[in-house]
A and B are shown apart, each in its own frame.
Chain A
Amino acid sequence: MSELLSWWAVAPWQTGQGGYFWALLMGFLVTASCGLVGNYLLVRRLSLMGDTISHSILPGLVLAFLWTGRRTSWVMFVGAVIAALVTVFLVDLIQKGSRIKQDAAMSVVFTVLFALGVLLVSIFAHQVDLDQDCVLYGEIAFVPLETLISVGGVSIGPPSVVRMGIVFLFTLVSVVLFNKELLLSSFDPGLSTSSGYSAQKIHLGLMAMVAIIVVSAFESVGAILVVAMLIFPGATASLITDRLNYIHVLTIIQSALSTLGGMYLALWLDTSIAASMVVVSMCLFALVWFFNPSYGLISTLVNRGVSKDKTLETE
């Protein structure tokens, strides 16, 4: 039995002398950064912004390539960030300037920009292999292969992890510093603006942050993890509590759990790490949804049954 236990719990982590530390850390940094900004997207009904950006960066990549004639990482990264910023501002423009709601505005922007990218590829670059998958998206499994960078003789980690670490700290600090402003503008834009915090400016600032975080995360781990993690941690946490600050804390916990669990699943089944993390995240969501005592599916069903009985009794 103890042998079985060590198989389950210990063996996967020892595969190949446990070289997964950096991948794990990267997973956590990405899921936590995405989760934190995702919480605001959830409130603003912009959860699919990750998916939107993943498509709309194509013209940015093509133009960056046509401009420089190169497909090196940083050129593609800059192109993608600019396209992502254009995306979030266009979505905002359409949403505010027309009768169209957020979801439709996102769909309009990403399909048009993606289509524009396809046109650009077929007109100018159809002899070059150019798409998000082959020039931008990173793979979390290969993070440990990077050369560690060192500062003052002390090696601090692979470049992509360090970069994502900076993004995470930036996100965390922004969320803590502008907690009040973000909270107020998310729930009551009118009051926020009249209290001197322009809801529009805060919104645009937040969206610019989302654009940068999302593209950095794409560069490090690919699309699926990012798109999912903008939504899952916040969605799971909001099943438990209504208070945004608690949601943030639960988001961090959810990120850590899905990173660990996802890595375990991926090692065990020898599958994609990013996809496994998303699957585990979904399992956490389902668990909370079913079993959480206050709003859970089961307790709701039970309560409904109880109240029915009570009505019967009083009758």
Chain B
Amino acid sequence: MLLTTCFIGGCTKSGPASNTTQKKQKGPIIVTSTTTMLTDLVKIVGGSQVRVQGLMGPGVDPHLYKASSKDLFKLKLADVIFYSGLTLEGKLQAVLETYKKTKKHVYAVTDAIPRTLLIKAGEGHDGTYDPHIWFDASLWARCVDSVIYGLSKVDPKHADDFKRRGADFKKELETLHSWVLESVQPIPAKKRILVTSHDAFGYFGRAYGFQVIGLQGLSTVDQAGLLDVTKLVDFIKEQKVKAIFVETSVNAKALKQISASAGVAIGGELFSDAMGLPGEIDDDGNDKGTYIGMMKYNVLSIVKGLK
């Protein structure tokens, strides 16, 4: 009896999930996106004309993403697939690049950004760029065009809607961009030093005038060396940095040790490679599960910590 209820429970649980993967002839087009930032973007541009399913849930580090069995159908039955690109998705990106050959509508949103605007990761390695572009709102705005393009290709009838919503969102991102520039003004130029767990804030630093120091490199196996730690502690003391920041999707232990030995406060938890749960509102009324809310939350935390 217990076994039967288990099975029924399992079936009813999987019911709605399998419904979302069934392709419908009419109604909204089905979109599959990878990261939480991207899912948010597609939702905004697509509005009610699309149904978006994200592969990576809130808080999931794209490096640590593990596919579940139904993710195959999320990809297979999608009318259009968006991914971030620049090797953020690791091996999954390679899968999607090959899938592009059979399925026409697979797009890397960062393809819309001119390569000259990207930060090169490492010297001499061709085609290797820092993938964390969303921390510069003006670069993220350029990705909107990829989404409009992809959606319009699949659903030309609603192209105007996508264009309109995309344009509106781009305006919002512009506003956000200038809001961030303004919000960081209270921090004196000399104090604009952002110390975080890993190198995710390169674009943020470039766009908003921060010197960015990540304890770990871009790779997840790269660990902080002893020299790095001592140097960083000295640097923090020398520059009288007021606060350093941990990240929601990276282990905070090393940074906490640095905070203790340098006598510097932890300024809070920043979102780096994934956003929070949609509907999770912070004290300032920002929804940490949306791109704009997440950016505002990050910026306010940084300003609070460093001011």
Residues of A within 8 A of B (CB): 4, 7-8, 11, 15-16, 19-20, 23, 58, 69-71, 73, 117-118, 121-122, 125-131, 133-139, 141-142, 144-147, 263, 266-273, 275-276
Contact = CB atoms under 8 A, between A and B. Distances in A.
Contacts of B69: 141, 263, 266-267, 269-273, 276
B218 A268 contact: no
A142 to B, nearest CB: 5
Interface residues of B, number: 51
B218 A126 contact: yes
B284 interface: no
27 contacts: A4-B4, A8-B7, A16-B77, A69-B126, A70-B126, A118-B223, A121-B222, A127-B217, A128-B121, A128-B217, A129-B219, A130-B221, A133-B91, A135-B91, A139-B67, A141-B72, A145-B72, A146-B99, A147-B101, A147-B102, A263-B69, A267-B69, A268-B14, A269-B10, A271-B69, A272-B66, A275-B66
Closest 9 CB pairs between A and B? A134-B90, A126-B217, A16-B73, A266-B69, A127-B122, A127-B121, A131-B221, A141-B67, A145-B99
B66 A268 contact: no
A128 B66 CA distance: 21
Contacts of A137: 91
A4 B7 contact: yes
A270 B94 contact: no
Contacts of A275: 66
Contacts of A20: 72
Contacts of A71: 87, 128
A176 to B, nearest CB: 34
Given A139-B92, A266-B68, A129 B21 contact: no
Interface of B: 4, 7-8, 10-11, 14, 17-18, 21-22, 63-64, 66-73, 75-77, 87, 90-92, 94-95, 98-99, 101-102, 121-122, 124-126, 128, 130-131, 199, 216-223, 225
Contacts of B128: 71, 127-128
Nearest to B123: A127
Contacts of B126: 69-70
Nearest to B103: A145
A139 B225 CA distance: 32
A2 B243 CA distance: 64
Max chain A C-beta neighbours (<10 A), residue from B7, B18, B131: B18
Most chain B beta-carbon contacts within 10 A, residue among A16, A133, A266: A16
A122 B91 contact: no
A128 B63 CA distance: 13
Contact of A270 (B14, B87, B92, B225): B14
B221 A16 contact: no
Nearest to A132: B221
Contacts of B131: 129
B71 A141 contact: yes
Given A15-B18, A16-B77, A268-B14, A131 B68 contact: no
A11 B124 CA distance: 52
Nearest to B95: A142
Nearest to B100: A147
Contacts of B70: 15-16, 267, 270
A164 to B, nearest CB: 16
B227 to A, nearest CB: 10
A68 to B, nearest CB: 10
Given A15-B73, A142-B72, A145-B98, A121 B91 contact: no
Given A128-B125, A147-B102, A121 B17 contact: no
Contacts of A16: 18, 21-22, 70, 72-73, 76-77
Max chain A C-beta neighbours (<10 A), residue from B87, B91, B126: B91
Contacts of B124: 69
Contacts of B92: 139, 142
